[in-house]
Structures are given as structure tokens and as C-alpha cells.
Amino acid sequence: MARSARSSTTRLFYTLCSSTKRTPLTPQHPPPTPVAALLAGNFQLRHYAASSATARVREEKDAVWRESLEKVRNIGISAHIDSGKTTLTERVLFYTGRIHEIHEVRGKDGVGAKMDSMDLEREKGITIQSAATYCTWKDYQVNIIDTPGHVDFTIEVERALRVLDGAILVLCSVGGVQSQSITVDRQMRRYDVPRLAFINKLDRMGADPWKVLNQARSKLRHHSAAVQVPIGLEDDFKGLIDLVQSKAYYFHGSNGEKIVAEDIPADMEAIASEKRRELIEAVSEVDDKLAESFLNDEPISSADLEAAIRRATIARKFVPFFMGSAFKNKGVQTLLDGVLSYLPCPVEVSNYALDQTKDEEKVTLTGNPSGPLVALAFKLEEGRFGQLTYLRIYEGVIRKGDFIINVNTGKKIKIPRLVRMHSNEMEDIQEAHAGQIVAVFGVDCASGDTFTDGSVKYTMTSMNVPEPVMSLAVSPVSKDSGGQFSKALNRFQKEDPTFRVGLDAESGETIISGMGELHLDIYVERIRREYKVEAQVGRPRVNFRETITKRADFDYLHKKQSGGQGQYGRVIGYVEPLEPGSGSKFEFENMLVGQTIPSNYVPAIEKGFREAANSGSLIGHPVENIRVVLTDGASHNVDSSELAFKLASIYAFRQCYTAAKPIILEPVMLVDIKVPTEFQGTVTGDINKRKGVIIGNDQEGDDSVITANVPLNMMFGYSTSLRSMTQGKGEFTMEYREHAPVSGDTQTQLVNAYKASKES
């Protein structure tokens, strides 16, 4: 009886072992005792069951977070000024139920659009700061950043696109692809952002979506096609034909909130069929799966076409074009459907960090909320409750009350308050996970800092910050308000990386620098409104640069004896211009052989040359595109020091600078001017007077569009001149292009003016 019990127990053990398919459980020799074997089997079985249960829980968790992230879209809306970005965002918020009334950007009720929360934005009818919001559309959470269109606020677009997964490029159906459209498209390319295009204002006179689509192909080099066809244009614009679903959509109700789907009108079947074929051909060129069906003449279903467009858009090989009129409430809901269908969710975008512990090795971020926290501070604002820091979370979870580490500074910070932004309103939340955009209070950091939970030392790559091109001298009218004045400048400098504050060493004036006249005017106005400080403003100054055109040798001995330890340092070498397009502005090369100068003095020599290059001798502006090569020198056992070699370098630079044939560089702007054709001759003549070079002249209906490169120094007060030349009908936009050499007579004038100012 006992034997049979034991044998049945042994059989049970072997049965269990074989069912688990674990090789370690199949013994080579019979077990010492059946009881021991049973215990061993039970232990292994429990261990296996526990580990498989853990794996199953992990898989379920992964599936849940992936599913939740698949229902998230982080998008930005960018365009040329006055293309309708803010109006479009207003309609999106209305249709998604975030706001219950529509207000126009320059509406008669004076309320203004929701996303333009600053008084200045509502008064001027322009967006100055990018504003974040979120909404829900068909169970998807859409985080939106509305960005400025004016080139002076380009940093707002730059930092928004740095953290977004997708974007909508808004184009005006009349204006088409304009100068700032090209700039924002270039920014989208820089950060590898997949995008949709929305041709807006189809209700306007002269609307031509097909012209805009062709311009996008030629000017922006988009591989694109329309996914919609408008039913009528201008005053007859009634609805849209969806080429993917082969349906016609009409927008009824006082605010276009009722969408009616119908069959394609009989008189438009031919054009819809032609444009659908064009769409399929365009997508087939960049998607192998669709190409196979297309080449085999297989019928292509709506689902197949939609999936192919999604793949091609996310791979940044295709840009689908949507159409509508945000102002007339047509086409916004179908655009939102397009955002869900074609733009990526956070896990479909490749994001990577740099591991500081492994020599900045690239690490791919999975977007897993259960991973280590990695978040990027991309925008700062001074709020009512202190500094508000906008964060994009790339991995992990952030909770109110958590301690996080600023990797750039090493500081440990507690999060006192976590919010989600809706323009200037905020909603308190307890936690946020990967893929979300949130804001935190009370965190002292700079724009571009990376935060982690301390388990990893990752940093995100920073955004591109353009150099300022214009400066103003500012000072408070009342000396009593100096404290508030400094506070304002410090705050704005921290918030906006393109806004710089400096001190003129000679005049003692405070100099603010920025991206243009409007940029600096806005900050002067904000100082007055937000800090109650009246400021005096000097004439705008252009940020000239100096450079050299030929090689020049230097050999300078700095020797000074004044009792006690003296100063002795000799530096020999040459300066030469850098190759065009080298990327760096100053290079120092140590080509010393032997120990003629001890190696510990070389950093002081480099520092001296860098300091000297901060102020050229022509007009006192920084010297760029220069290489300094140190070939020889001499030192003294007692009298040599870091200071002696630093001074020797400064004097050596000044000694050889004139021999290197220096020239002055000035910022040249790319100017886009749109005027009625009757004024074309007058405006062109004026551009020539301003030493501009006309590079393009196109006709758009009754208007001429003149594109020119004009020195910034000649563009002050141009808006007033243009208005008077064109009876108020002309408009222009301007953006920085490059620093280029000034003409000989201009250089002489600038040098003489600089000498006169120094003598006085």
C-alpha cells in the first residue's frame, strides 16, 4: 500500500515535470526519496507559475500603456502670419467641447481667441507666445500647441516643434506658400516632425487650393497630394469630398457643428475619381505595400489607402493635404479625424536621449511609463505663482510631491504642483505619464534642461536657438524703478533664449538684443505694462560682425618689470580666415613643438585670443570665422604666468589684426513684399535705393510679390515707407538670412563713425 502510494506520487511528480516542459525538472537519476522529489517538483512548479504570472502581468501592463498612448496625439499648429492658426485652434476647441463659444482673433466683441491670452496679443491680433491646450476627440486625447506666425517669435515655434510628435502646416488658399511657411517647414524637417497640411480660407476671393498644392511641391519639396476636394470655392464653398472614404461632407448649423455625409455629387464624380487616382499614385511611390496592389490593378479599399497614407506620413515621406475654412466652420472636424488617422502617437516616434555616464551614447526612449523618468523643460513662463515650467515627458511617470533631478545642474527638486494647461488656465493633476505635456510650478531651471528620477543620467538634445540680429539701448525713465527694470529683463531673458541683455562697456548703457523690431518693441511694452516701468529707447543698433580675409603672422613679447615678480610671455603664430561653411566662429589650434611654452599656460593663451576676438578694432564688434594657430613662443622660469600669456595673446591679436585685412559683416534679411501691381515699380526702385538685391518677382492675381535680400541697417522704418508708397495697401515680412560683407563706402562710414564716437 505504502509502495503504491509512493509510486503514484512519483508518477504525479514526473507528470507535473513533463507538463511544465522545464528540462531541469527531469532528473538524470531516480530521486533519493519520493517525498523529496515531490517537494522539489512543487517548488519548481510554484517558481514557474509565479514567474509566468509576473511575465503575464508585465505583458498586460505593457498592453494597457501602449493602448493608452495609442490614443494620444501631441501636435503643433504652425504657419505664416495671418494664415488662420489661432482661428483654427479656436474651432478645434469648440468642436471638442473645450470651449462653448467661438471668439474671433480681431472680433468686435473684444474678447479675442482663447489661445491669445495676453492683452498685447488681443490688441495687435497676433500670437506672441506659443500656448498649450488639450482636448478630446473621439476618445483620443489631443495635446495642441498654437505657435506664433511672425518670424520675430521664431523661438516659440522652434521649441514647440522640438517636443511634438506631429504638426499641422496651415497654408492660405490665396497667399499660398509664403516666406514664413518655408521657415516653419524647415523647422519641422530639423526635428523630423511628420505633418499634415491644411489649406485654409477657401471662402476667400481668389482661393485656389491646387495652386497652393503645386507651390508646396515646388517650394517646400513636399511629396504630397490632396486627400480632399472642395465642393465649390469662394462664396460657393459648400463642403468637402473625402477621397479616402469616397464620401461628400457638408457642415450645417450656426457653427458648422452638424456634419452630414452624402454620396459624391454627380457633377463632381469625374474630378473626385481623378484626384483619388492621383492620391493613390503619390502614396504608391513611397509605400511598397500599396504600390504592389496598385501595379497589380487590384481594387484598393478605403482601409488599405488610409493605412498606407498613415505609414507614409509617419515615415515623413508624404504630406496629405486637407482643405477647409476655419473662419466659416468648414473642414475642421475632418482635419481632426486626419490627425487621429495619419499623425503618430508618442510610441510611433523615435526619441532618444544622451547617456552622460557613457560619453553621450544615444539611448532610444521607449515611451514606457514604467521606465525611468525622462522629461524635457522646453518653455518657461513667469506665472502668478512663480515660474511655470512646461515639460514633455518622454518616459516614466511624474507625480505631485515626487523628487526629481535636474541632470544639467545636478539639483534635486520636489514638485509642489503639477498642472495641465488650457491656454492661461490650468487644471491640477496628481500624476502624468510618458507622452504627455504638463507644467510644474516652483522648479528653478533653464529652457532645455532634462529631468530624471535619479536612476539614469540622460539628457535630451537641445533646440536650435538663432542668434539675435538687432539691438536697442534701453534705460528706465525713473531711477527709482531700476530694481523692477532689472527684474523684468532677467525674467524675459530666462523665458526667451533669443532675447539677450548686455552692458555696453563704453557708454554704460543696457543693450537688449532680439530677432527684430517687433520682438524688441513687444518686450519694451511688456516692461511698461507688467512691471509699470517706463523705459527710454535708443535708436535700434544692428549687430554687425567683423572678420578677416587673409592670413597674418604674429610674434609678440609681453615683458613688464616693476619690482618683485614681473610679467613675461611670448607668443608666435598666425591668424587665418576659416573655410566658408565651417560651422564654428572661432578656432584655436596648438601646434607647439617641445616645451617652449609650458602646457599649463596654453589655456590662458586661448582665453586671451578669444577675449580679444570679442571686440574687433574696426568698429568694436565681435570677430567671427577666424582660426588662431600657435606655433612657438618663449617663457621665463620666474616671470611667466597665466596673466602674462593672456595679455601677450590680446596684444598679439591686435598687432596682426590690421595686416589680416579685416572687413565688416552686416545682417542681410530676406524680405517678402506683397503690393498691388500698380506700385511695383516704385517699391522696386526703393529696394534698390536701400542696397537690396531682388531675387524674385511673382504675380499673384492683382498683386506683385517681390522677394529681395536687403541689409537690415537699411530696413528701419520700412513699414511706414511702404504704407506711404502703396496708399496703405502693401505688406511685408522679413527674416534673417546671413551676415554678408558691407560695401567699401559703408565700411568707411562705419569705421569713421566708430572713431568719432570714441574720441567724443
Q: Which residues are annotated as a binding site for GTP?
A: 79-86, 146-150, 200-203
Amino acid present at 440: V
Rounded Cα gap, residues 436 and 143, in angstroms: 8
Tell me how far CA of residue 574 lies from CA of 144, 482, 548, 554, in angstroms. 54, 46, 12, 5
Rounded Cα gap, residues 216 and 318, in angstroms: 12
Q: Which of 499, 498, 509, 392 is nearest to 451 (CA)?
A: 392
Q: How many CB atoms lie within 10 A of CB 654?
A: 15
Q: Which of 202, 210, 220, 226 is nearest to 277 (CA)?
A: 226
- Name, in order, each residue with C-beta under 8 angstroms of 316's C-beta and a sequence gap of 6 or more: 192, 193, 194
Tell me how far CA of residue 151 lies from CA of 156, 179, 180, 735, in angstroms. 10, 9, 7, 6
Set of cell numbers at residue 38? 515531490
Rounded Cα gap, residues 750 and 742, in angstroms: 10
Rounded Cα gap, residues 525 and 128, in angstroms: 13
Residue identified by cell 524680405 is: 671
Q: Which of 162, 615, 600, 683 is nearest to 147 (CA)?
A: 162
Set of cell numbers at residue 34? 519520493
Q: Strand 374-383 vs strand 386-395: parallel, antiparallel, or unpaired?
A: antiparallel
Q: Which residues are annotated as a binding site?
A: 79-86, 146-150, 200-203
User: Are the CB atoms for 626 and 582 separated by under 8 Å?
Assistant: no
Tell me how far CA of residue 539 lies from CA of 12, 516, 752, in angstroms. 95, 13, 19
Q: What are phi and psi of 613, to 5 degrees?
A: -75, -10
- Chain CA centroid to CA 157, Å: 5
Set of cell numbers at residue 49? 507559475
H/E run at residue 740: strand 731-741
Tell me how far CA of residue 464 lies from CA of 130, 145, 188, 534, 599, in angstroms. 16, 18, 12, 33, 35
Interior angle at CA 685, CA 679 and CA 687, nearest 5 = 100
Rounded Cα gap, residues 632 and 217, in angstroms: 56
Set of cell numbers at residue 454? 535619479
Rounded Cα gap, residues 334 and 340, in angstroms: 10
User: Are the CB atoms for 644 and 567 separated by under 8 Å?
Assistant: yes
Amino acid present at 130: S
User: Are the CB atoms for 493 and 446 separated by under 8 Å?
Assistant: no
- Name, in order, each residue with C-beta under 8 angstroms of 689's C-beta and a sequence gap of 6 or more: none
Rounded Cα gap, residues 392 and 387, in angstroms: 16
Instruction: Give me the DSSP letters along 497-515.
Output: TT-EEEE-TTT--EEEEES
Rounded Cα gap, residues 630 and 570, in angstroms: 11
Instruction: Give me the DSSP letters along 213-269.
Output: HHHHHHHS---EEESEEEES-GGG--EEEETTTTEEEEEESTTS-EEEEEPPPGGGH
